[in-house]
Amino acid sequence: MKKTHNCGELGLQNIGEEVILVGWVNRRRDHGKLIFIDLRDRAGISQVVFSPEADDIAHAKAHELRSEFVLEVKGQVCARPHGTINPDLTTGEIEILVHELTIINSSKTPPFSISDELNVAEDVRLKYRYLDLRRPQMQKNMFLRHKVCQNTRRFLDENGYIEVETPMLIKSTPEGARDFLVPSRLSPGEFYALPQSPQLFKQILMVAGFEKYFQIVKCFRDEDLRADRQPEFTQVDIEASFVEIDDICKLIEGLLSSIFKEGLGIEVKTPFPRMDFDEAMARYGSDAPDTRFGMELTEITDLVKDEGCQVFNRAIAQGGQVKGICVPEMASMSRKDIDELTAFVNTYGAKGLAYFKGKESPIAKFLSEGARDNILQRMNADENSLCLFIADSPRVVAMSLCQLRLHLAKKLNMIREDAFNLLWVMNAPLFEYDEEEKRFTAMHHPFTSPRETDYPLLDTDPLKVKANAYDVVLNG
């Protein structure tokens, strides 16, 4: 090894020791007689000092150093002078007085600073990915991922699960998205598919009697890019025989609580709360609700259906509904801001946004005093509240208000970033109706079974059939 220590592990216990460090120049400060370098590696930063008294050759060389030069330094660990201690560094009480310097590699001026205080376009970061990955936060992410994978393997092994690798080149089978295809050289005109999941292989393992299987596996789906969709991703894949829903829930709760504790030092309470799919959609407009803040959806269809507001009446007559959210302390929001919110919900299919500022509203004249009071009471609104309403089909109302709720919560800093709210969403519908293809399709995937109590509905009312499906949700 070229080095005796990592840059981030030296302290007062090492004073007087001769050490060799290797790393990148994070920062250079030239004070004339003394040159200070913050030397960085994956473990942290150590301050190294070049002085002509310690070594005039090393000091002369140090004038050449610039950001991201790669160095090997040899020197003695010393306590920092009084008043120069840096409490922000784990090595902030010491420095290394250098008497030997080797420049392993020079560097051009980087296109951006190698620090977490970064304000650079994503395409630039990706172009210089090797530089972006030097940043402490990116390296922290990689180490956290490593710890999560280690912890996952250990936990599942302790619970009797066996890790099995499954093939990457497979036959194409119907799943939730399009396959990526790989042409076969030996069979011209024929193709392999990359797996969207190891679904069939893990079922083969169950039939073969392995009973408990897991794999940290790459999956590939040729679908449009979205914030929560990637063409290539990694998942922890688990399959077990002879188990019930509660067995799987208990296993996953144990796994996640172990990951949080070992990876982040955070204790999470188990068992996780459970919420029915229909309740999640009614309260949050989403099957993946963010429960770190309030502002839940409230339905007022019954309160306005016999009133004179034509916007509401038209939506209700077409089988729609009227729902809203109450934004506390925002009755002073300007008309311009409300217009911006209206434009925001338009992108999700909503035709408009009605509102109450306290008791004042452009639609108040179309509602009786009793209806207005009942609406505000149900919304838990006061004179300082801003109530926002959408009247449309249930699907548009849910999607628009869900996104509006999240948008406002972020804008108004209502979300506790240090909170980790885990819950189960249970009993999702087994089917949904595809208007384009004019047929029923699986809401999640074709491998989900119906609840036993819903078997009779399969022939009479498929949309009412609930699935034995259960999703664990973290912060939405």
pLDDT at 206 over 90: yes
Q: What pLDDT does residue 308 have?
A: 83
pLDDT at 446 over 80: no
Q: Please, which pLDDT band fits residue 218 given cuts at 50, 70 and 90? A: very high
Radius of gyration of the chain (CA): 30
Choose which CATH entry (3.30.365.10, 3.40.50.920, 3.30.1360.30, 3.10.20.600) describes domain 293-413: 3.30.1360.30
Q: Please, which pLDDT band fits residue 2 given cuts at 50, 70 and 90? A: confident
Q: What pLDDT does residue 222 have?
A: 92
Long-range CB pairs of 248-254, under 8 A, 24+ apart, other chains included: 248/470, 249/424, 249/470, 251/159, 252/472, 254/155, 254/159
Burial environment of residue 440 by CB neighbours within 10 A (0 to 12, 13 to 18, 19 or more): middle
pLDDT digit string, tens, across residues 76-97: 999 999 899 999 999 999 999 9
pTM of the model: 0.88
Q: What pLDDT does residue 381 have?
A: 94
Tell me the C-alpha distance between 41 and 139, whole Å. Answer: 10
Q: What is the DSSP string of 47-90?
A: EEEE-TTT-HHHHHHHTT--TT-EEEEEEEEEEPPTT---TTST
Residues of CATH 3.30.1360.30 domain(s) within the chain? 293-413
pLDDT digit string, tens, across residues 276-290: 999 999 999 999 999
Residues of CATH 2.40.50.140 domain(s) within the chain? 12-105
pLDDT digit string, tens, across residues 372-392: 999 999 999 999 999 999 999
The architecture in CATH of the region 139-264 reads 2-Layer Sandwich (3.30)
Residues of CATH 3.30.930.10 domain(s) within the chain? 139-264
The label of the residue with tokens 């004339």 reads 32
Amino acid identity of residue 375, one-letter, is: I
pLDDT at 1 over 70: no
pLDDT at 359 over 70: yes
Using a pLDDT cut of 70, give the percent of the chain over it.
Answer: 100
Q: Whole-number mean pLDDT of the chain? A: 94
300-311 burial: b if 16+ Cβ within 10 Å, else e: beebbbebebeb
Span 11-34, mean pLDDT?
A: 95
pLDDT at 442 over 70: yes
Tell me the C-alpha distance between 232 and 219, whole Å. Answer: 6
Tell me the C-alpha distance between 281 and 285, whole Å. Answer: 4
The architecture in CATH of the region 12-105 reads Beta Barrel (2.40)
Tell me the C-alpha distance between 194 and 464, whole Å. Answer: 34
Residue 322 CB partners (closer than 8 Å, separation 6+)? 299, 300, 301, 304, 312, 315, 316, 389, 390, 391, 397
Query: Which structure tokens are listed for 200?
Result: 């069939």
The continuous run of DSSP H or E covering 192 comes out as strand 191-193
Tell me the C-alpha distance between 285 and 401, whole Å. Answer: 7
Span 194-220, mean pLDDT?
A: 96
Q: Please, which pLDDT band fits residue 445 given cuts at 50, 70 and 90? A: confident
pLDDT at 26 over 90: yes
pLDDT digit string, tens, across residues 96-150: 999 999 999 999 999 999 988 888 999 999 999 999 999 999 999 999 999 999 9
pLDDT at 173 over 90: no
Tell me the C-alpha distance between 426 and 272, whole Å. Answer: 12
pLDDT digit string, tens, across residues 311-323: 999 999 999 999 9
